[in-house]
Amino acid sequence: MKKIVLSSYNKNIIRALRSLHVENCALAQPKENEVLIKVHAAPCNPSDIAFLMGDYNIVKEVPTVPGFEGSGIVVEAGEGAEDLIDRKVSFFIQEEKCGSWSEYIISNRSKLVVLDDDMNMDQAACFAINPFTARGLLDIALLRDNHAVIQNAAGGQVAAFVRQMAGEMDIEVIDIVRKEETVARLKREGAKHVLLESDLQFEEKLKELAGKLDARLAFDAVGGTLAGQIFNAMPYDAELVSYGGLSTKYISGIDPMGLIFHDKIISGFNLPEWREQMDDDFFEQVSTEMQAQFISGKFQTKIQGSVDFDNIGDGLIHCLRNLSKGKMLIKANS
């Protein structure tokens, strides 16, 4: 089988991407509760970018095969997983030596989302992480009984799912983006409150809107000073949930008075921990409900294109410059 290999981490992402190359290796055999999956496609997410740079929470021994997520069909199974043969699956694998940018992968059955036969396999490649992340973030809003939330990186895919799901939960969303073209796109798509972070009156506008809508919850994927500005703009008893560090900058500029006198807090969200806390039956229920939304076409991950193994470097460099245009899927050469 063929796999994409990263020989060494590189802080220069362009160099890291250019260094990716294809290698051949023997197929592994699934052990107890494991399956062998023929991978259909795998996306390149911000976590993969951070991983290639050696900046992610997970650092594997190199050489390694990147990729935390994907879709495929189970072609072989170890003892205790035979029922999964021929099933379509999405998977979220973090610790395995061989990641999803590979023709085949081995996964424990616990890392799989078993799919309805009608699920589109390109959509399935981006199903195991972002839609569940959006759902997990909105669970915080439901628990806190918040009816308005603020989110940055709002042109991205997690944010798009937050907007769609929030609409169904009667939760208002204040979207923050960094490009004027993204403001225009989100408005065309029906987003009600979109702010441009470089607007000279950004902080005043955000504070006014957060007060008016009583937005006491924010989902921060950026960090840096933007996270601090959002924290400071929110009313009393607000929570800033950090779930991404796209700016690669520490959260800064927090007004300590907010923490001391206004009962505001900062917390973090991590999908695997959310999943672990979840009862398996409830996870199945959420997964089935979300798959139905994908099959009907109501929920879709925006996909900007696909790249084969031989052209992976150029394809991913192109996508880096256009993250809001959607996910780039990596597919083995046909």
* Shortest distance (Å) from residue 23 CB to ligand NAP: 27
Query: CB-wise, 5 or 159, nearer to ligand NAP?
Result: 159
Query: CB-wise, 56 or 104, nearer to ligand NAP?
Result: 56
Q: What element of type H or E holds 88? A: strand 88-92
Which alpha helices (DSSP H) does 145-263 contain, by range? 157-168, 180-188, 202-213, 224-233, 256-261
Rounded Cα distance, 92 and 94, in Å? 7
- Give the residues across from 242 on adjacent strands: 220, 268
* Shortest distance (Å) from residue 265 CB to ligand NAP: 17
Contacts with ligand NAP, residue ranges (CB under 6 A): 45-47, 129-130, 133, 153, 155-159, 178-179, 182, 221-222, 243-244, 246-247, 269-271, 323-324
Rounded Cα distance, 170 and 14, in Å? 42
Query: CB-wise, 84 or 129, nearer to ligand NAP?
Result: 129
* Shortest distance (Å) from residue 132 CB to ligand NAP: 8
- Give the residues across from 92 on adjacent strands: 69
CB atoms within 10 A of CB 207: 16
Query: CB-wise, 139 or 237, nearer to ligand NAP?
Result: 139
* Shortest distance (Å) from residue 129 CB to ligand NAP: 5
* Shortest distance (Å) from residue 304 CB to ligand NAP: 10
Q: Token pair for residue 41?
A: 């496609």
Q: For tokens 């225009």, what's the residue? A: 184
Query: CB-wise, 182 or 229, nearer to ligand NAP?
Result: 182
